[in-house]
């Protein structure tokens, strides 16, 4: 792993039953990079997202987060690394419907045992959702929910934000707005960004681009 990498997979292999999803896959995410991993439906993008986010343990290979090999760590320590170093923007947002927008964003800090309301307030201001703090997720638009999810992903000042299909169901104008938000987040909050998507419209917008096909990552 390069000294400039915050996230690196080495020779990752994982199967579903007797079917390999990928074998010997490697990828490195540099500090402050905006990285796109594209692939068609069924190519294994969601599995790769889950592996990179320490949500799934591969059958073999190593995954390093800020230089720490997480491969053999117990789940408690993996959860702590996930909490402290990785931020997630899920395709379906995964907001808790009976918590306000602000309470949803605060969840990672509560898990860490330290709530920084000044930081949360600044996130809501900079993401232009300060007027939504007391709203429940069902009352928010898709774009508003996504910004709340982004605020939550940044709550613990992660090294990497992982976004799963953030534009897959959006029209071109909204796609541009979402990308602008994600790129601004990467630049403003000193984090790397990894987007996993099947959306061909994203080609050319990222510093680092890969295509996932037949279990192999090809750098573009």
Q: What is the pLDDT of residue 169?
A: 64
Q: In what order do the strands lie in the sheet with 34-38?
A: 86-89, 160-164, 192-197, 34-38, 208-213, 216-219
* Nearest in space to 127 (alpha carbons), one of 151, 103, 107: 151
Q: Is the pLDDT of residue 1 over 50?
A: no
d(CA 125, CA 48): 32
Residues 94-131 have pLDDT tens digits of 999 999 999 999 999 999 999 999 999 999 998 889 99
pTM of the model: 0.91
Q: What is the pLDDT of residue 207?
A: 87
Residues 85-101 have pLDDT tens digits of 999 999 889 999 999 99
Q: Domain locations in the chain?
A: 5-96+160-219
Q: Is the pLDDT of residue 2 over 70?
A: no
CA atoms within 13 A of residue 165's CA, in its CB half-sphere: 17
Query: What is the CATH topology of the domain spanning 5-96+160-219?
Result: Rossmann fold (3.40.50)
Q: Is 213 exposed, middle or buried (0-12, 13-18, 19+ CB in 10 A)?
A: middle
Q: Is the pLDDT of residue 167 over 80?
A: no
Q: Is the pLDDT of residue 145 over 50?
A: yes
Q: What is the pLDDT of residue 17?
A: 87
Residues 3-59 have pLDDT tens digits of 589 999 999 999 988 889 999 999 999 998 999 999 988 889 999 999 999 999 999
Torsion of CA 86, 71, 92, 161, to 10 degrees: 20
Higher pLDDT, 59 or 167: 59
Confidence label for 199 from pLDDT (cuts 50, 70 and 90)? confident
Least confident of 33-37, 140-144, 201-205: 201-205
């Amino acid at each position: 792993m390069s000294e400039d990498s915050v996230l690196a997979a080495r020779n990752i292999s994982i199967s579903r039953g007797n079917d390999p999803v990928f074998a010997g896959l490697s990828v490195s995410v540099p500090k402050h990079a905006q990285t796109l991993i594209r692939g068609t439906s069924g190519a294994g993008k969601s599995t790769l997202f889950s592996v990179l986010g320490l949500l799934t343990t591969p059958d073999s290979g190593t995954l390093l987060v800020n230089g720490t090999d997480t491969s053999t760590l117990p789940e408690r320590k993996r959860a702590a690394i996930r909490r402290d170093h990785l931020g997630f923007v899920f395709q379906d947002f995964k907001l808790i419907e009976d918590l306000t927008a602000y309470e949803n964003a605060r969840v990672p800090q509560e898990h860490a045992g330290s709530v920084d309301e000044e930081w949360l307030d600044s996130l809501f201001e900079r993401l232009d959702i300060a007027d939504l703090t007391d709203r429940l997720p069902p009352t928010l638009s898709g774009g508003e929910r996504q910004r709340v999810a982004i605020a939550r992903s940044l709550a613990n000042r992660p090294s990497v934000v992982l976004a799963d299909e953030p534009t897959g169901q959006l029209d071109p104008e909204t796609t541009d707005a979402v990308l602008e938000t994600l790129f601004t987040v990467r630049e403003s909050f000193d984090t790397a960004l990894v987007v996993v998507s099947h959306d061909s419209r994203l080609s050319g917008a990222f510093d680092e681009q890969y295509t996932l096909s037949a279990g192999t990552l090809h750098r573009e």
